[in-house]
Amino acid sequence: MRISTSTLTSLLLVTAVAAAVPGISRRLPGSKHRPESQFDRLLQHHDRKGDLRAEILGMDSDTFKSLHKHLTLEEIAHKRGFRNIRAFRLALFGKLKGELRQRGWSSNRIDRYVAVRSSRLN
């Protein structure tokens, strides 16, 4: 994966908060042109090529890009066997933690990072 460590930690933090607080990642009200949530826009920004999302969904990035032009991430995740978008986000959280572990982070360091930073967001 070719995402920087600082981006991975940011995505991990946002994913942890989105998974812990129900309703935080709802669609933006009154937005006709951008129906997705702020979380989805952040994920799309950092995962521009779709490699991370495609890997979690079990497909290649080109297939994911072509599907994402016509379907929402929630619809794609449901078709790929995820019960709901929260299950996809939990899988994303696990993938991000695994990637940080491969880069030398310990589980304690990851948990401490999420705990300290998420308290700043509340």
pTM of the model: 0.80
Q: What is the pLDDT of residue 27?
A: 54
Domain containing 100: what range? 5-21+36-121
Picking from 79, 102, 82, the residue whose alpha carbon sits closest to that of residue 92 is: 82
What's 28's DSSP letter?
A: P
Contact 4, 109 (CB under 8 A): no
Mean pLDDT value across the chain: 83
Does residue 17 lie within any of the structural domains? yes
Give the pLDDT mean for 100-121.
89
Cα gap 46→63, rounded to integer Å:
18
pLDDT attached to residue 16 = 85
> Structural domain tally of the chain?
1
N residues, the chain: 122
Amino acid of residue 122: N
Give pLDDT tens digits for 16-52. 887 766 555 555 555 555 556 777 777 887 787 888 8
N- to C-terminal Cα separation, the chain: 30
Task: Kindly state whether residue 26 falls inside one of the protein's structural domains.
Answer: no
